[in-house]
Structure 1
Amino acid sequence: MPNTPDTALQLWDISPPVYVGMPVFPGDTPYQQEWVATIGPGCPVNVASITSTPHAGAHADAPLHYAPDGATIGHVDLAPYLGRCRVIHAINCGALIEWRHLEHAISNDLPERVLVRTYQQMPQTQWDAALAGYAADTVERLAARGVRLIGIDTASIDPADSKALPSHQTIRRHDMRVLENLVLDAVPEGDYELIALPLKLVQADASPVRAVLRALPGAYNHRNS
C-alpha cells in the first residue's frame, strides 16, 4: 500500500504495514496472529491474539532499550512525539547520516523533532542488513540545537551490526527520544506536525506507533525534493 497524503485531511501516513511475515530485526520476535474467537453460532465477535516484538513496524524506543536503568516506554513524556517536525532527505547517504547530509536543511528555526529519509524507497517486505544509521556526532549537533526527538526510515539509528550503539548512547545522555522504521518515501522535505504516540506499555522497552504527519500552512517545504 503506497504511503501517500490524504488530500482532504492533509495527512501523510508514515507507518509501514504490520503483518505476519513482515521483516523484523534479526533475533526479534516475529509478528504472529491467531484467532481465539470468530463470528459464528454462539460467538458475536472476532478476537485476535498477537505475539510480537514491540519494535515491529514504526516504533518508539524507550530509554530501557539501551540503558538498564532507563524508563519504560509507558513512563516517558509524550510531548516529544507530538508537534512540529522537519523532514530532511539524505537519500543514499551511505552507512551513516553525517552532518553534511543535513546541513542544507538546518536553520535557526529548526523544530525540536527531526526525521531523516535515507531510502529512495523503503524496503517494507525484506530485511536490510546495510541500513543507514545516524553518526553519533550528528546526533550531538542536533541535540546542541535543541532537538528532542530524531527519527529515521530504517530499523535503527545505529548500523545493524553495531554493538556499542554510539547514537543510542548519545540520545541516552541527552534524554532524547527516537522513532524508527518510518516510511518517508512520499514526504517532501519540509516542516510538518508529527503525531506518533506510543502505547502506555508500562513494562516494555519500546512501543509500536501509528505515525502520521499533518501539513502546516505556510511551513518551510521543498516540494521538488
Structure 2
Amino acid sequence: MQKLWDISPAVHPGTPVFPGDAPYRQQWCATLAPGCPVNVSAITMSPHVGAHADAPLHYDAHGAAAGEMALAPFIGPCRVIHAIACGPLIEWHHLAHALAELPPRVLVRTCAQAPTQWDTRLIAYAPATIERLADLGVLLVGLDTASIDPADSHDLPSHQAVRQRGLRVLENLVLDEVPEGDYELIALPLKLMQAEASPVRAVLRSLA
C-alpha cells in the first residue's frame, strides 16, 4: 500500500491569515430540522487561507487566474528538502545536499512545527534560489510558510522571479511529518476563473 501524507493545514475560524486577508468564516443558511432535510452553509475567506496555489494574477496584472492554470505542475514527482530554521531566506546552499537528479517539483520544509498563528518572521525563498531551481527544470516550488517572499516585502522579488520563469507556487503547506525524499505530489487548484489564488488539498504519496 502506498502511504499518503496530508500536507494541508486545517482550515477553521482560527486559521492564521496574512494581515488584511479575509479569515475563514462560515454561517449556516439551513440546518437539519423538521421541514429541512439538509445542512447548508456559506463560506467567506481569502483564497490564500490554508494550503493554496498562487496564480499569476496574484503578482501580474495581466496574469492568468487560478482556474486558467494548467494542472500538470500540481501533480507528479516531487522532492521534499529540509532547511529547518535556515531563515530568513532559503539560499542555494541550504538545498545543495538534496539536488541530485531533481524532479520538477520542490517543497522546502523550514519549520520544526507548522505555525498556528501569523508569523512576521516567516522564512521565504531567495529570488536567486528560484532562478537556479528554474534553471534545473523545476516547474513548481512550495514551502511551509505563508509566502515565498518575506512578510514585510513590498516588491516581492521571489514572486517576480516566479512570474518571469513561469513557475507555480504552493504556500502554507504542513511538512512536519514528511521525511526528506521523493514523492508524488497531488495539489490541484479549484477552477476559480476570476481568483488570484486557490485553496488546495495537498497530499504526498509514496512512490512505492
With normalisation by structure 1, the TM-score equals 0.91
2:193 counterpart residue number? 202
Name the SS of the counterpart of 1:22 in structure 2: coil
Give the percent of matched residue pairs that are identical in Structure 1 and Structure 2. 69
- After superposition, give the CA deviation of every residue in 1:198-220 in whole Å (9 maximum; x if it has no partner): 00000000000000000012xxx
1:167 and 2:137 are equivalent in the alignment: no
Name the SS of the counterpart of 1:40 in structure 2: coil
Q: Report the Cα distance in structure 1 between the residues aligned to 2:60 and 2:195, rounded to whole angstroms.
A: 13
Name the SS of the counterpart of 2:64 in structure 1: coil
Q: Report the Cα distance in structure 2 between the residues aligned to 1:103 and 1:86, rounded to whole angstroms.
A: 13
1:102 counterpart residue number? 95
Name the SS of the counterpart of 1:42 in structure 2: coil
Q: Is the 2:30–2:39 Cα contact (8 Å) retained in structure 1?
A: yes
User: Which amino acid in structure 2 is aligned with residue 80 of structure 1?
Assistant: P
1:120 and 2:117 are equivalent in the alignment: no
2:28 counterpart residue number? 35
With normalisation by structure 2, the TM-score equals 0.99
Pairs within 5 Å for 1:185-224: 185-217=176-208
RMSD over aligned CA atoms reads 0.7
Q: Report the Cα distance in structure 2 between the residues aligned to 1:19 and 1:52, rounded to whole angstroms.
A: 10
2:168 counterpart residue number? 177
Pairs within 5 Å for 1:37-186: 37-107=30-100, 109-123=101-115, 125-186=116-177
Name the SS of the counterpart of 1:43 in structure 2: coil
Q: Which 5+ residue runs of structure 1 have no aligned equivalent? A: 1-7, 218-225
Q: Is the 2:13–2:25 Cα contact (8 Å) retained in structure 1?
A: yes
User: Which amino acid in structure 1 is aligned with residue 67 of structure 2?
Assistant: G
Q: Report the Cα distance in structure 2 between the residues aligned to 1:160 and 1:77, rounded to whole angstroms.
A: 28
After TM superposition, where is structure 1 displaced by more than 2 Å over at least 4 residues in a row?
Answer: none
Q: Is the 2:58–2:196 Cα contact (8 Å) retained in structure 1?
A: yes
1:5 counterpart residue number? none
Shift of 1:21: 2.0
- After superposition, give the CA deviation of every residue in 1:171-203 in whole Å (9 maximum; x if it has no partner): 000110000000000000000000000000000
Q: Report the Cα distance in structure 1 between the residues aligned to 2:146 and 2:87, rounded to whole angstroms.
A: 15
Q: Which 5+ residue runs of structure 2 have no aligned equivalent? A: none
Shift of 1:135: 0.2
Q: Report the Cα distance in structure 2 between the residues aligned to 1:209 and 1:94, rounded to whole angstroms.
A: 26
Shift of 1:9: 4.6
